[in-house]
Amino acid sequence: MPTIAFDALDYRADQSFAAARYRFDGDERTGWRIDRDGVTALQLGPGFRLLRVRQCGVCSTDLARHHLPFPLPQVIGHEVVAIDAEGRRYVVEINASHHARGIANDCAFCRAGLPTHCPERTTLGIHDLPGGFGAWILAPIEGCLEVPANVPDSAAVLVEPLAAALHAVTTIAPRAGESIAVLGPRRLGMLVIAALHAYRSSHSPQDAFTIAAVARDPRLLALAKQFGANSTHPAGSLADGAFDVVIDTTGNPAGLESAVRMARREVHLKSTHGQPSVGLHHTTELVVDEIGIARFPDAAPAAGEAPWERLRTGPRPRIAWLANATPPPWLPAQVDVQRGTAVALAAHYGSATEGLPRADVVVADSAAGVDAAIRPQAGREVALVRPRGQVLVLAGARRDASLAASPLLAAVTTRHLELSSSRCGDFRAALQLLAADAELRRIGDRLVTHHFPAMALREAFATARSPDCIKAVVDQPEAGASA
Ligand SMILES: [Zn+2]
Ligand SMILES: [Zn+2]
């Protein structure tokens, strides 16, 4: 049984860092015991391998970690480049699902191809699993992807956010002639611009779209041009409906409100700041579950075009109906519609034996209904609607006042704006893109402005919050800890 002991800085609920002595005992096959200061903090089952951390990026999720609904203290950090005993380099898919651990399971989420939404996952550096600001990590074995030889550490350390950026681009699926704006391009948003640029380059010229960057800081706008933006705009200078799609990467609640105002077709949300926004409490949880919001159709959609058809995971599409009005008669008979409170319906779908134990679509007619679709029960991180599902807002004749009071729901119901969101992405796609694109491999040289040693996390966080920093990376000493 390999035993590793090392000192690392825990992040605590009061936003301070405190040194703790960690010890990992176990192996890939039988599981691991994690001790903190001599007390067992976590028991892990099989499917985790021990890797030594080389570098770990600081991202906005880390800076907002105290707002997130996962226990603290914890060693955080999730944008990792790590090495094995033979010196091979890896990036690590952070969601330690059954699938990523390579263990047998009867998990509906892992089986449905949604391992990043596995309800029994731990998450590297975010939820329970000690993260990359410590010298050693326990990484899910199938989630360790070897870094191609031509991809330098400086780019590899950005694979996690680059994958997330690529996922945002494929989710919005830019259309020919559209204008796509990135709001608040900084550590993540700059990667979204790079991903948009790479996506556009891989399509034919007649499918081209334009990329705009919107930011306060003129230095960020200059950098956005280097990453592929066609136009740049100072924040606050833009008219309502200035762009077809706006991707909000600001990481603050006011950003979403601006994005809603400026977007015609769709707003894509990437921010997980843990705070209320646009009249909703659960926008962060919405991003965590990659849920979308749109207007409930006024008339029967054409065959094959109803959102519940493409979201179905069981034998019949499941619609949880939270709205006051009765479902329209055209809602087809082959759809399973259940009416009730969000709590009762969550319990109902929770016992489903086929497909995911969730509704595919929730229909709501108030801000409270939308919030309840995302988190029906206080203190339980379980949605009524499935991951990557949709909440459809019914705009009946007697509209709830909360719809007008929420800038987002007002836009969804009056001008058919759609909201989408995404969290993690496909590491393989990001690695392939980097391996094939010499220009993109220089991404770290442009984006990473600061490096810090592992024991200077306090300074790293203070700097990462300052306007002079775009991306900070924390480096582990070469001869990590004693084995
Ligand atoms: Zn991150
Ligand atoms: Zn699972």
Closest listed ligand to the CA of 188: 1
pLDDT in tens, 47-56: 999 999 999 9
Strand residues in 13-154 grouped as ranges (E): 17-27, 31-36, 39-44, 48-58, 79-83, 89-92, 95-96, 122-123, 136-140, 144-146
| Ligand 1 centroid from CA 439, angstroms | 22
Average pLDDT value for the chain: 94
The pLDDT assigned to 202 comes to 87
- 3-state class of 44 per DSSP? strand
pTM of the model: 0.92
Residue 218 has pLDDT above 50, yes or no: yes
| Ligand 1 centroid from CA 261, angstroms | 26
Closest listed ligand to the CA of 160: 1
Query: Which residues line ion ligand 2, judged by CB < 5 Å?
Result: 97-98, 107, 110, 118
| Ligand 2 centroid from CA 95, angstroms | 10
Cβ-based neighbours of 480, under 8 Å, separated by 6 or more? 6, 52, 53, 135, 136
Closest listed ligand to the CA of 162: 1
Identify the residue whose tokens are 């007649």: 206
Residue 339 has pLDDT above 80, yes or no: yes
Name the band, by pLDDT with cuts 50, 70 and 90, for residue 481.
very low
- CA dihedral (389, 395, 400, 403) positive or negative: positive
Identify the residue whose tokens are 């405190």: 18
Look at phi and psi of residue 228 and say left if phi exceeds 0, alpha if psi is from -120 to 50, else beta. Answer: left
| Ligand 1 centroid from CA 274, angstroms | 14
| Nearest by Cα to 90 from 49, 59, 121 | 49
> What are 6's strand-pairing partners?
22
- Length, in residues, of the chain: 483
The pLDDT assigned to 480 comes to 43
| Ligand 2 centroid from CA 98, angstroms | 4
Topology (CATH level 3) of domain 3-146+438-475: Quinone Oxidoreductase; Chain A, domain 1 (3.90.180)
Strand residues in 189-345 grouped as ranges (E): 210-215, 231-234, 243-248, 263-269, 292-295, 318-321, 336-339
The pLDDT assigned to 35 comes to 98
Residue 463 has pLDDT above 50, yes or no: yes
| Ligand 1 centroid from CA 61, angstroms | 6
Closest listed ligand to the CA of 387: 2
165-421 maps to CATH 3.40.50.720 = yes
pLDDT in tens, 231-257: 999 998 899 999 999 999 998 899 999
Percent of the chain at pLDDT exceeding 90: 88
Average pLDDT over residues 430-439: 94
* CATH 3.90.180.10 boundaries in the chain: 3-146+438-475
Percent of the chain at pLDDT exceeding 70: 99
**C-beta separation of 363 from 392 below 8 A:** yes
Better-predicted residue by pLDDT, 314 or 101: 101
| Region of poorest pLDDT, from 175-189, 302-316, 358-372 | 302-316
> What are 31's strand-pairing partners?
27
Residue 483 has pLDDT above 70, yes or no: no
* CATH 3.40.50.720 boundaries in the chain: 165-421
Q: Which of the 8 DSSP states describes residue 104?
A: -
